[in-house]
Amino acid sequence: MSEKARFDTSRTPSFTGSSRQANVTATLTQDNEYKVIIDGLKKIYKQKIKPLETMYNFEETDGADGGRRGGAGWWTVEMNHRDVGLCKIVALSNAKFFGLHFATTSHPLPGFHSAPLTDSDIEAKPMILLIGQYSTGKTTFIRYLIDKAYPGEHIGVEPTTDRFVAVMNGIEEGVIPGNAAAVNSELPFRGLNKFGQAFLSRFQVSQTPSSVLENLTIIDTPGILAGDKQLIERGYDFTSVVEWFAERCDLVLLLFDSHKLDISNEFKMAIHALRGHEEKVRVVLNKSDMVNHQNLMRVYGAMMWSLGKVVQTPEVMRVYLGSFWLEKPPNCYEDSRELLDAEQRDLLKDLRELPKNAAIRKINEIVKRARLSKVHAHIVGHLKKEMPSMFGKNKKQEQLIADLDKEFLKIQQRYHLPKGDFPNVDKFRQNLSLYKIDQFKPLREDVVEKADDVSGMGIALANDLPKLMAKFPQGNPLLDVSQRNPFDSLNPSFVTPKDGEFPPSYWHFSSVDKPTYVPMFQALNPVRGKVAGAEVRPVLVDTGLPNDTLAKIWRLADWDSDGYMDIDEFCVAMHLTKAVQTGGELPETLPQTMLPVKKL
């Protein structure tokens, strides 16, 4: 539906300007409520979580301040000269060395965890990350969702997508190259700068006007091939890029083809990069109608067996069966169609819920980050405390790094920290070897734990974030069965509608006069796109139809039987009242042609 159709009231003169103003005010009020929550989240992160990350080298930095990497203003400069060979000079920054000033060029080191969040990261729309081997239908799946082509897409049986593509909503169609997207403060991709030119030349933002993309961003990834050749020739760390996106995405879809179930080495590494984000991962077995029902069960079992060898968790991943075709091939099997349609509806419902729960998931990610920061601070403080003050520092550091798993256990027992909040010991050991432990900051209990300190992490986790969640706008409560039809409690006086004849096209959703009914629906001030039966009742009563007729209209139009009407259900209800008013007879069941074709 176009914005013009949504807000054009010229066709409904019976509605006053005050009704339209009330609708706009209600919409803006709900948007402002979410804006307050996001602003509060940014404030909590900047004031109480980010300082802890910075103090204890939690985050990746650009090295511009030099001292933050080691805790003091020093580093080792290595110069590889063609004639004199390798020369190592250890110097004090901003100090004279034999009467000379050495230019100190900072070289960023990999951080222990991800880069600090920016405002654009916290404000970003929900993102869906698609991962799969080549020709599993990732790009076609995006086309299926947004129901249109987008700039830069290429669909084929061969490996076609050779880059990461962020498909976003835009005023007009266009492509933003990776380097430009990574420096744009309005886009949530500034953290991609750390992967360098080799990656940014293989990244782009494709913008296209789309009602679906108004609330979502979809990330398409290069098709993964078998073998190790691509690991060398990509020029960037594919697994690290996947991990970066997984941290920021709200949903990760692993796509498999019913004829392509093998998991290559790179695909396996990409799945391992999703550890810690298992709640976001869903599996889609695409092109499921290319095998018959019996073979589909075998394919499903083989895929789960393959995943079980890669995903080392006792929980079973949610798997959706589906076939997301732009044009259905003629050799499809139809014996599992009912199952596949039900599975696709479940998946699309899962996707529809993303924008509604986006703010809650952002709080969840901030809480997860805060817990990691807290544990990281204890690790760094403990290692700093174990270092000698004068001699034997290098030997002690080597010993601490070698016995890091034992040190983790000491920290866990001493501070009563959950084992699940500790980082991967091998990865932490690798990063720790790049630092001088004696230059770390000592642990400050007031910043990490004390709840009476306004800058403490404790108060952020215990008070601030729960208070923020309490401010969420309330949705529509689940109604009792007896409340789901607002006409059931009335004493009906059965009146047989007059006979009328309508062309078959009347019973198609395309015949519904939505431009007339949409303003009426919006005037009821819907909450999350729905209006309760008690609010719709006066509008239907005004049609003058008998109560039993209105009750039947409600049963037909409220096809999900939740006691609420969304904009399509309301328009169908008004369409049915018009049919009765003009002498028509209501069908016993709503024709399938009256249901809107909805994806998201």
pLDDT digits (tens, 9 = 90+) for 328-377: 888 889 888 889 989 988 998 888 888 777 778 888 888 888 888 888 88
Of the segments 105-109, 221-225, 240-244, which one has the largest average pLDDT value?
Answer: 240-244
Q: What is the mean pLDDT of residues 486-492?
A: 50
pLDDT of residue 21: 38
- List the domain boundaries for the chain: 32-53+112-123+355-471, 124-333, 504-594
Question: Per-residue pLDDT averaged across 112-124, rounded?
Answer: 78
CATH of 504-594, one of 3.90.660.10, 1.10.238.10, 2.60.20.30, 1.25.40.10: 1.10.238.10
Per-residue tokens: 288? 């499921």
Res. 284: pLDDT tops 50 = yes
| pLDDT reported for residue 449 | 57
Q: Which of 577, 569, 558, 574 has the alpha carbon at shortest distance from 596? A: 569
State both tokens at 573. 């209800």
- Choose among 211, 502, 250, 481: nearest CA to 353: 250
Q: What is the pLDDT of residues 375-387, one digit of tens each?
A: 888 888 889 888 8
* Stretch among 90-99, 272-281, 447-456, 549-558 having the lowest mean pLDDT: 90-99
What is the pLDDT confidence band of residue 105, given thresholds at 50, 70 and 90?
very low
What rounded mean pLDDT belongs to the chain? 76
- Give the pLDDT band (50/70/90) at residue 577: very high
Higher local confidence (pLDDT), 481 or 431: 431
Average pLDDT over residues 503-532: 87
Rounded to whole angstroms, how far apart are CA atoms 394 and 437?
Answer: 9
Residue 103: which pLDDT band, with cuts at 50, 70 and 90? Answer: very low
C-alpha 29: how far from its chain's center?
24
Span 518-531, average pLDDT = 88
pLDDT at 538: 92
- Grouping H, G, I as helix, E, B as strand and the rest as coil, residue 204 is strand
Cβ-contact 284, 303 below 8 angstroms: no
Mean pLDDT of the region 153-171: 78
More confidently predicted of 402 and 3: 402
Q: Which is more confidently placed, 188 or 96?
A: 188
User: pLDDT band at 99, cuts 50/70/90?
Assistant: very low
Rounded average pLDDT over 435-462:
64
- 260 pLDDT more than 90: no
Considering the domain 32-53+112-123+355-471 in this protein, what is its CATH number?
A: 1.10.268.20
Closest CA to 565 of 513, 510, 528: 528
3-state secondary structure 401-447: HHCHHHHHHHHHHHHCCCHHHCCCHHHHHHHHCCCCHHHCCCCCHHH
Q: Is the pLDDT of residue 453 over 60?
A: no
pLDDT value of residue 409: 92
Q: What is the mean pLDDT of residues 520-529?
A: 88
More confident residue, 493 or 175: 175
Report, as an integer, the average pLDDT of 107-126: 72
Confidence of residue 74 (pLDDT cuts 50, 70, 90): very low
Q: Residue 320: which pLDDT band, with cuts at 50, 70 and 90?
A: very high
Label the pairing between strands 251-257 and 281-286: parallel
pLDDT score recorded for residue 19? 38
Mean pLDDT across 501-506: 75
Q: Which range has the top average pLDDT, 49-53, 70-74, 563-567?
A: 563-567
**What pLDDT, on a 0 to 100 scale, did the predictor assign at position 570?**
93
Interatomic CA distance for residues 55 and 443, integer angstroms: 10
Q: Which CATH architecture has domain 124-333?
A: 3-Layer(aba) Sandwich (3.40)
pLDDT at residue number 378:
87
Question: What pLDDT, on a 0 to 100 scale, did the predictor assign at position 189?
Answer: 92
Q: Which of 367, 373, 371 is nearest to 465 (CA)?
A: 367
pLDDT higher than threshold 80 for residue 162: no
Return left, alpha or beta for 187; rule: phi > 0 is left, psi -120 to 50 is alpha, else beta: beta
Whether the CB-CB separation of 204 and 163 falls below 8 Å is answered with: yes
Among 80-84, 96-100, 137-141, 573-577, the range of highest mean pLDDT: 573-577
3 state SS of 86: strand
To 10 degrees, the CA torsion angle through 503, 540, 561, 356? 100
Q: Where are the alpha helices (DSSP H) in 176-256?
A: 178-182, 196-200, 229-233, 238-248
- Give residue 500's pLDDT band: very low, low, confident or very high (50, 70, 90): low
Alpha helices, DSSP H, located in 173-314: 178-182, 196-200, 229-233, 238-248, 265-272, 293-310
Residue 125 banded pLDDT, cuts 50, 70, 90: confident
User: In the prediction, which pLDDT does 14 show?
Assistant: 33
For the ranges 327-336, 386-395, 452-461, the lowest mean pLDDT is seen at 452-461
pLDDT average, residue stretch 487-510: 58
pLDDT category at 81 given cuts 50, 70, 90 is very low
pLDDT digits (tens, 9 = 90+) for 9-62: 333 333 333 333 344 334 434 455 667 778 888 888 888 777 777 777 665 544
